[in-house]
Amino acid sequence: MLLIYCPHCQEHREEEEFSYGGEAHITRPVAPESLTDAEWGDYLFFRKNPRGLHHEMWYHGVGCRRYFNATRNTLTYEILETYLVGTQPQITGAGV
């Protein structure tokens, strides 16, 4: 059983309470009306899929119902840190 620390609830909870929310730190286009269809497709569908460190969004659906970010090693599934959306990770090495 994987325990995930929720930075909002400030406690470790069972993995089943959380949902993966996608890659973290995706910036919305500043002028979306000027994007081509191909650029919109890139923004909506193309994400990094690294081996190793990856910054992800997670949702605590059974608890506080809030999003937070996590740095996870995709090879070992180990979550190295969790942090609030809008802040930067302590652990770098993955593209932020």
Q: pLDDT by residue (tens digit) across 13-54?
A: 999 999 999 999 999 999 999 999 999 999 999 998 889 999
Task: Give how many domains the chain has, as a whole number.
Answer: 1
In whole angstroms, what is the distance from residue 96 CA to residue 53 CA? Answer: 11
Q: Is residue 96 part of a domain?
A: no
Domain containing residue 12: CATH number: 3.30.2270.10
Domain that holds residue 38: 3-83
Q: How many CA atoms lie within 13 A of 40 on its CB side?
A: 7
Q: What is the C-alpha radius of gyration for the chain, rounded to an integer number of angstroms?
A: 15
Domain membership of residue 94 (yes or no) is: no
- Domain for residue 89, yes or no? no
User: What tokens does 35 get?
Assistant: 């994007």
Give one DSSP letter per residue of the chain, joined into a string.
--EEEETTTTEEEEGGGEEEEEES-PPPPSSGGG--HHHHHHHHH-----SSEEEEEEEETTTT--EEEEEEETTT--EEEEE-TTS--SS-SS--
Residue 93 forms part of a structural domain: no
Question: Quick check: is 70 in a domain?
Answer: yes
pLDDT digits (tens, 9 = 90+) for 47-79: 988 899 999 999 999 999 999 999 999 999 999
The model's pTM is 0.86
Neighbours of 88 (CB within 10 A): 11
For residue 95, is it within any domain? no
